[in-house]
Amino acid sequence: MDDKREQQGIVLTEAQKRSRRRRSIAIALALGVLVVLFFAVTIVKGPAVLNRPL
């Protein structure tokens, strides 16, 4: 029994799985927003996106 547990490694509880899933979804959403933001600003600025001060 102990050997079997050892082979399985760390087993997450249901609560840990749920919170990890929610955190993963939040990270995915944040990255999605970042992608949309960069896309939108590129469209808004057009060719001027390459012409920035500094």
Partner 1 sequence: MSVVDHNAIELAAPRISEADVGDYIALLKPRVMSLVIFTALVGLAIAPGHFHPVLAITSLLCISVGAGASGALNMALEGDIDALMSRTANRPIPRGRITPAEAMAFGMTLSFFSVLTLGILVNWYAGALLAFTIFFYVVIYTMGLKRRTAQNIVIGGAAGSLPPVVAWVAATGSISVEPLLLFLIIFFWTPPHFWALALFRSDDYARAGVPMLPVVAGPDATRLQILLYTIVLVAVAVAPWPLGYFDAIYGVTSLILGAGMLALAINVYVSRERSQSLRATRRLFAFSILYLFALFATLLLEVVVRAVAPWIGFGVG
- Which residues contact partner 1 (rule: CB under 8 A)? 10, 12-13, 15-16, 19-20, 22-23, 25-26, 34, 37-38, 40-41, 44, 52-54
Tell me how far apart the alpha carbons of residues 23 and 34 are, in angstroms, rounded to a whole number.
17
CA angle, corner 52, sides to 29 and 48, nearest 5? Answer: 80
Longest Cα–Cα distance of the chain, Å, equals 66
Closest contact distance (angstroms) between CB of 5 and partner 1 is 12
Tokens of 49: 């996106």
Closest contact distance (angstroms) between CB of 47 and partner 1 is 15
Closest contact distance (angstroms) between CB of 49 and partner 1 is 9
